[in-house]
Amino acid sequence: MDSSKCPLDLPEGTDCWINSILDGKSLDEISLPRDRVSSCVKCPYFKESVQRSMGRRSSDLLMSQAVSRLLSILSDYNAELSGMATDLHHKIEKLTVLKTVAEAFLKAANLKDCLWVFLTGVTAGEAYGFNRAAVFLVNQPRRALEGQLGIGHVRLEDFKDTWDSIKKSRLTFQEMIRRIIDQPDLPENHLTELVRKIYIPLTPQFGLLPKAVLERRSFTVPELTEEHITDRQMLSVFGGRPCAIVPIISRDSALGVVVVDNPVTGADISQEDISMLETLSYLAASKINNLILNNQLEVRVAELEHVYNLLQDNQEYLLETERLVEAGKLATTIAHEIKTPLVTIGGYSRRALKAFERGDNITRDLQILVEEIARLEWITSGVLDYSKKRTLNLRNVNLNSIINETLEIVQGKLTYGNIDVVLQLSESELIVKADKDRLKQVLFNLLDNAIQAMPDGGTLTVSTGTDGGYEWFKIVDSGCGMSQKTIDKLFQPFFTTRSSGVGLGLPVSQRIVADHGGYLEVSSELEHGSVFTVNLPVHRQEMKG
């Protein structure tokens, strides 16, 4: 048999294996490509050789038919393997696309870049190869789908120019993705401009896009019509053609949809295409969700910064307004408080003047005048202490030492009032940064209140200690105690339960403690006494001087 008669188009240097055997070569010497078996089985020369080998003996007939059958099976198996290899190669290509896109998602700095990468994977010829794609994301506050980005063209004639440009530049899919990451300010296209004008309420009656989000499933339609989409701009771009709508799902929530079609090639959209697109969408969803949350966080931070700047700009105004309101309340209270002594002074002054003209004794009248004037001076002094912000002379002072010094000064009052003092001071030095004189004023006020609460004598307990970031001292009396209603009013200017009190001691004390960065606490129980606790910030440095 002449090898030139072989109907197969053999590569150069390759002999027909049938001729080679007939020429005396062994099978080991012959290179038989696997993909040529099925063609050789159908070769007329091979069939002719098989027919000639059939003898009349049954064994010859059996071997001949067995060889033909085995070669036929081998041919079918080879075809199946070839198909599987093609499918495997196709899947490897898609996995490579997914790997490239996944790596690009990690590098995407913002939502726009992420969507560019996503749609490039959807439309690139080396990737999923759809002619056109657009992304719509859910705006949760507005409960609607809003167009974000489109890749492709509105006019079919524009596709050819773009595809020719890509072919001439010989851009690979990896290079396209790299360009998105390296050159974030890519020019807008007409499709994106139209897509961004599309706004679809997130309710089923507005078509398949919101339905895909709400039901979290994909849809394919042979021809997109008003039955599927109610938005006219959407129909003007994607209407009248086969179309697929795939949700972008992150865990249990749908972030949006991707819409694809093939207006140029007219290629069908198979279920396999949908499955691959769902895989890519799911891969993109996690990154899109993170970027959406990041954008929301940035917006909130910007809003907070704006509010903070407004507060800073208006801080002086707010403080001034607060001071004016407080001053107005204070002026009303002062007017009420000084009215009584002023009336008394006026009345007794006129009375003393007439008595003096008659030559009567005016000593008693003058004594009352002096007492009322002293009361006015006390009120004025208290108001100044409360309303005027004084500069503190801060120094490192020992809290225990201040308490001992103050108790020595009021020892006479304590003895006269039949009050026993119990000291429970901390063994370690408690150092605070404070104005010593102002802190003593707080102690005087609290001790005076405790003495007044025990008119028949009692026990006064003074203790100090440390709790977290504060040093504290506590004044406990065994007096009459107070109701909750009284406690609620304690720090209101001019509120007092004593007939001779002005009602500024505790408000002034609270203001002094606050100026030191601390706070004053009070608790009380009727017939069981009261507890006042002053907490001052810890200062760990050693005392100087």
The Cβ-side half-sphere exposure at 259, using a 13 Å CA radius, reads 35
- Paired residues of 460 in beta bridges: 421, 477
Amino acid at 143: R
Residue 135 lies in a domain: yes
Domain boundary among 387, 417, 443: 387
**CA-to-CA distance for 271 and 277, rounded, in angstroms?**
10
Residue 33 lies in a domain: yes
Q: What is the DSSP letter of 359?
A: T
Structural domain for 60, as ranges: 3-89
Same domain flag for 378 and 399: no
Cα 168–chain centre separation: 45
DSSP-H helix ranges across 256-314: 271-313
Same domain flag for 120 and 66: no
Helix (H), strand (E) counts: the chain:
18, 13
Same domain flag for 264 and 130: yes
Same domain flag for 177 and 276: yes
Residue 308 lies in a domain: no
Residue 331 lies in a domain: yes
**CA-to-CA distance for 42 and 72, rounded, in angstroms?**
9
Same domain flag for 284 and 421: no
The structure's pTM equals 0.47
Domain boundary among 270, 288, 306: 288
Query: What CATH number has the domain bearing residue 218?
Result: 3.30.450.40
- What does each of the 545 residues of the chain score in pLDDT, given as a tens digit? 444 455 555 555 555 666 666 666 665 666 655 555 556 666 666 666 666 665 556 556 556 666 666 666 766 777 777 777 777 766 666 667 778 777 877 787 788 888 888 888 888 877 778 999 999 999 988 899 999 999 888 887 777 777 777 777 777 777 777 887 777 666 678 889 999 999 999 999 999 999 999 999 999 999 999 889 888 888 888 888 899 999 999 877 889 999 999 988 888 898 988 988 898 888 888 888 888 888 777 877 887 788 777 777 776 665 666 655 665 666 665 665 566 667 677 777 777 777 777 777 777 777 777 766 766 666 666 555 555 556 778 889 999 999 998 888 888 888 888 999 999 998 888 888 888 888 888 888 889 888 888 988 999 999 999 887 889 999 999 988 888 888 887 777 656 666 555 566 788 788 888 888 899 999 988 888 899 999 998 865 543 33
How many separate domains does the chain show? 4
Same domain flag for 467 and 376: no
Same domain flag for 352 and 378: yes
**Is 237 exposed, middle or buried, given 0-12, 13-18 or 19+ CB atoms closer than 10 A?**
buried
List of residues 6+ apart from 165 with CB closer than 8 A: none
In the numeric block, which tokens belong to residue 475?
Answer: 């004044």
What own/partner pairs with CB < 8 Å and gap ≥ 24 does 90-94 have?
93/126, 94/127, 94/128, 94/276
Same domain flag for 266 and 371: no
Q: What is the residue whose two structure tokens read 């005016």?
A: 362
**CA-to-CA distance for 228 and 226, rounded, in angstroms?**
5
Same domain flag for 15 and 84: yes
Residue 94 lies in a domain: no
User: Residue 2: what pLDDT?
Assistant: 47
When computed from its CA atoms, the radius of gyration of the chain, rounded to whole angstroms, is 48
Same domain flag for 131 and 249: yes
User: Residue 326: what pLDDT?
Assistant: 61
User: Residue 96: what pLDDT?
Assistant: 72
Domain boundary among 358, 387, 416: 387
Query: What CATH number has the domain bearing residue 415?
Result: 3.30.565.10
List of residues 6+ apart from 384 with CB closer than 8 A: none
User: Residue 531: what pLDDT?
Assistant: 92
User: Residue 260: what pLDDT?
Assistant: 93
CB 444 within 8 A of CB 483: no
Residue 486 lies in a domain: yes
Same domain flag for 186 and 124: yes
Per residue, the 3-state secondary structure of 199-251, as one string, reads: EEECCHHHEHHHHHHHHCCCEEECCCCCCCECCHHHHHHHCCCCEEEEEEEEC
CB 382 within 8 A of CB 374: no
Residue 542 lies in a domain: no
User: Residue 21: what pLDDT?
Assistant: 62
Same domain flag for 130 and 192: yes
User: Residue 26: what pLDDT?
Assistant: 63
**CA-to-CA distance for 384 and 493, rounded, in angstroms?**
12
Residue 306 lies in a domain: no
In the numeric block, which tokens belong to residue 374?
Answer: 């002293």
